[in-house]
C-alpha cells in the first residue's frame, strides 16, 4: 500500500523532511523555509499549562449500567431504567505533584467521571477518599500551596505541609486516611472512588434527597507500603498508567459497583453533625449503602494528550434530577473547575471530542473565541429570546430549590449538636488493626519529625491526642524517637 503524501499545515506537499533549506551547501538557513519554521513553531507550542492540581493522570472509556431501581430518589434519565447503559470517560490522577511526577506516591487520587447522557454530560468529580482536608474553598489555594513545591527550595517541604495542617484541625480525619494503609493505592484498579461531596437528587415528584457516592472496586482494595512504593517508583514511575493501560489492552476490564447513601432532604438540618461538611463521613448505620449500578472500563484512549490531558471535568455539569448541595467546598468548585479549563484549554474546550456530548447535542448561543468550531449558519442568531426559532429555555429546574435564610457575610459553617474536628479521625484509628496502627504512626512520624519548628509539631500532636489518647501518645513517642536519633 502506498504511503500518503506528507504535507504542511496548509496542505501543500513536503519535498524534503530530512534537510533544511540553506544558502548553498553548508550555508546558513533560509527564512523562506516555511516547512522548517512551521515545524519549530508548532513544536514550541505543543504543551499547554498543566493542571495546578491533579496534573498527573490516566484515563479510560467505559460504560455505566444501572442494576437497581433508584427512580424513587432521582429523575435522572441515565439512572431511570435497570439495564440502561451510558458511555463514560474516567480520569484518575494524583493531586499534589506535577505532570512529570511518579504514580506510586502517598497522595489522594482523583476519580473524575464523565457520563455522556442523553440529557447532557454529567461530571462527577471525586477522589479515592470519602473526606478532604478542608471544608471551605477560601482555604484551598493556601492548602495546595503548602503541599506543592516551595518557591525557594523548589521541592515539597515538611515544614510547609505540617504547618498548614497545624492550623487546620479539621484536616485530622483526612490526614489519618492519607497516612494509613490506603494512602498509596497499588493501582488505579485497586482503589475505591467517592463523590466525597454531598449532592442533591430530586425525583419526578419534586422530592429532594441528599446523597453521597461510593464506587467500590470489584478488583479488591490493594495498597502499597512506603517501602514497596519507593521500590516501584524506581522500577516504573508510570506504574499506575502502565497497569491500567495493559489491563484494558488484555481485556481485563476493571469495574466498580456504585452505591449511594441517601438522606431525605428534611433530615439534613437536624442531623447530629453538618452533613455538608467535606471532612466528615455519614455513618453507614445511619444511612446504609444502596446499590445503583456498575462502572466498567473497556477502552483505552487513542491519544493521551487529546483525550486525557484535554479532558475537562466540572462539578457544575449537572443533568435533570441531580444538583448541588450547600457543601461549601462543592459550591467553590462549581466555579473553580470550569474556570481552570477555560484558562488551560480555552472557552471552546467543550467542543473537543472528549468533552463534547455524545448522546445528545449542545445547542446554545455561545459564539466566537479561540478555536470556535460551532458558530452556526447565516440564519442562526446569537441572542435570546428571538423570533427565528432559536433554542429556548425549558422552564424546568434541574433539581429542587435550596432554602436559604439569614444575612450575607463571612460566616463560619453552622454548628450541629455533635460537630467536631477529631471524633471521626479517632473512630477511623480505632477501626484499624494493630499492624495498621503501627504503619500509620510510622508514616506520620516520618514526616512530622522533619519539621524544624517545635510549635508546629506540638500543634499537630495536639490534634492526634484530641482524636484518640493512644493515637496521640504513639505519634508523640515516635516523633520524639526519630528526632533524638
Active-site amino acid positions: 54, 127
- Output the CA torsion 374→375→377→379 (10° steps): 130
- 426 phi and psi, to 5 degrees? -65, -40
Integer Rg of the chain from CA: 25
- Kindly report whether the peptide bond that precedes residue 385 is cis, defined as omega within 30 degrees of 0: yes
Spatial separation of the C-alpha atoms in residues 478 and 484, rounded to whole Å: 10
Look up residue 129 and give its three cell numbers: 477518599
Provide the H-helix boundaries in 167-267: 172-179, 226-235, 239-249
Inter-CA distances, 457 with 106, 164, 287, 472, Å: 20, 11, 37, 12
Q: β-pairing, 208-217 with 199-202?
A: antiparallel
Q: Using alpha carbons, select from 145, 140, 110 the residue that is nearest to residue 308.
A: 110
- The span from the CA of 229 to the CA of 105, in Å, is 7
Alpha-carbon 130 to chain mean position = 12
C-alpha 123/C-alpha 113 separation (Å) is 6
Adjacent-strand bridge partners of 63: 87, 296
For helices 140-147 and 158-166, angle between their N-to-C axes, nearest 10 degrees: 150
Question: CA-based diameter of the chain, in Å?
Answer: 85
Burial 372-410 (b: 16+ CB within 10 A, else e): eeeeeeeeeeeeeeeeeebeeeeeeebbbeeeeeeeeee
Q: Which residues of 227-265 are buried (b: 16+ CB within 10 A; e: fewer)?
A: eebeebbeeebebbbebbbebbeeeeebbbbbbbbbbeb
Residue 307 has φ and ψ, to the nearest 5°, of: -110, -20
- Alpha-carbon distance of 53 to 97, in angstroms, equals 7
Cβ-count burial of 211 within 10 angstroms (0-12 exposed, 13-18 middle, 19+ buried)? buried
d(CA 395, CA 376): 24
Amino acid at each position: 500500500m502506498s504511503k500518503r503524501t506528507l504535507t504542511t499545515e496548509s496542505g501543500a506537499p513536503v519535498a524534503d523532511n530530512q534537510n533544511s533549506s540553506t544558502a548553498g551547501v553548508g550555508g546558513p538557513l533560509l527564512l523562506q523555509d516555511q516547512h522548517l519554521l512551521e515545524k519549530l513553531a508548532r513544536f514550541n507550542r505543543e504543551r499547554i499549562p498543566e493542571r495546578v492540581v491533579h496534573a498527573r493522570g490516566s484515563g479510560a472509556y467505559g460504560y455505566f449500567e444501572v442494576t437497581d431501581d433508584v427512580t424513587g430518589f432521582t429523575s435522572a434519565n441515565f439512572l431511570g431504567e435497570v439495564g440502561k447503559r451510558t458511555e463514560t470517560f474516567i480520569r484518575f490522577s494524583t493531586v499534589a505533584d506535577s505532570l512529570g511526577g511518579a504514580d506510586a506516591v502517598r497522595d489522594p487520587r482523583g476519580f473524575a467521571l464523565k457520563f455522556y447522557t442523553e440529557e447532557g454530560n454529567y461530571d462527577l468529580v471525586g477522589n479515592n477518599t470519602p473526606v478532604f482536608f478542608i471544608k471551605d474553598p477560601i482555604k484551598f489555594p493556601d492548602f495546595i500551596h503548602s503541599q506543592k513545591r516551595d518557591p525557594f527550595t523548589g521541592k515539597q517541604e515538611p515544614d510547609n505541609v505540617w504547618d498548614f495542617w497545624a492550623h487546620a484541625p479539621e484536616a485530622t480525619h483526612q490526614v489519618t486516611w492519607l497516612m494509613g494503609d490506603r494512602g498509596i493505592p497499588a493501582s488505579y484498579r485497586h482503589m475505591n472512588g467517592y463523590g466525597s461531596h454531598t449532592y442533591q437528587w430530586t425525583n419526578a415528584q419534586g422530592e429532594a434527597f441528599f446523597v453521597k457516592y461510593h464506587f467500590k472496586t470489584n478488583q479488591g482494595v490493594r495498597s502499597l507500603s512506603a517501602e514497596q512504593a519507593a521500590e516501584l517508583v524506581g522500577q516504573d514511575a508510570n506504574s499506575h498508567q502502565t497497569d491500567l493501560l495493559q489491563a484494558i489492552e488484555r481485556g481485563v476490564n476493571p469495574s466498580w459497583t456504585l452505591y449511594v447513601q441517601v438522606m431525605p432532604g428534611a433530615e439534613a438540618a437536624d442531623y447530629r453533625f453538618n452533613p455538608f461538611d467535606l471532612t466528615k463521613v455519614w455513618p453507614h448505620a445511619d444511612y446504609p449503602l444502596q446499590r445503583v449500578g456498575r462502572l466498567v472500563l473497556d477502552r483505552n484512549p487513542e491519544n493521551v494528550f487529546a483525550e486525557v490531558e484535554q479532558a475537562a471535568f466540572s462539578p457544575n455539569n449537572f443533568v435533570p434530577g441531580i444538583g448541588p448541595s450547600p457543601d461549601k467546598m462543592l459550591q467553590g468548585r462549581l466555579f473553580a473547575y470550569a474556570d481552570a479549563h477555560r484558562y488551560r484549554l480555552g472557552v471552546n474546550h467543550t467542543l473537543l471530542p472528549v468533552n463534547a456530548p455524545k448522546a445528545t447535542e449542545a445547542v446554545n448561543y455561545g459564539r466566537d473565541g479561540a478555536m470556535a468550531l460551532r458558530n452556526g449558519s447565516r440564519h442562526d442568531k446569537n441572542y435570546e429570546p428571538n423570533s427565528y426559532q432559536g433554542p429556548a429555555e425549558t422552564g424546568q429546574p434541574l433539581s429542587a430549590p435550596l432554602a436559604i435564610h439569614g444575612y450575607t457575610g463571612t460566616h463560619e459553617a453552622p454548628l450541629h449538636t455533635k460537630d467536631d474536628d477529631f471524633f471521626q479521625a479517632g473512630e477511623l484509628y480505632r477501626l484499624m488493626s494493630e499492624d495498621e496502627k503501627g504503619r500509620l504512626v510510622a508514616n506520620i512520624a516520618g514526616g512530622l519529625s522533619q519539621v524544624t519548628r517545635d510549635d508546629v509539631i506540638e500543634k499537630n500532636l495536639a490534634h492526634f491526642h484530641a482524636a484518640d489518647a493512644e493515637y496521640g501518645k504513639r505519634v508523640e513517642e515516635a516523633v520524639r524517637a526519630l528526632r533524638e536519633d
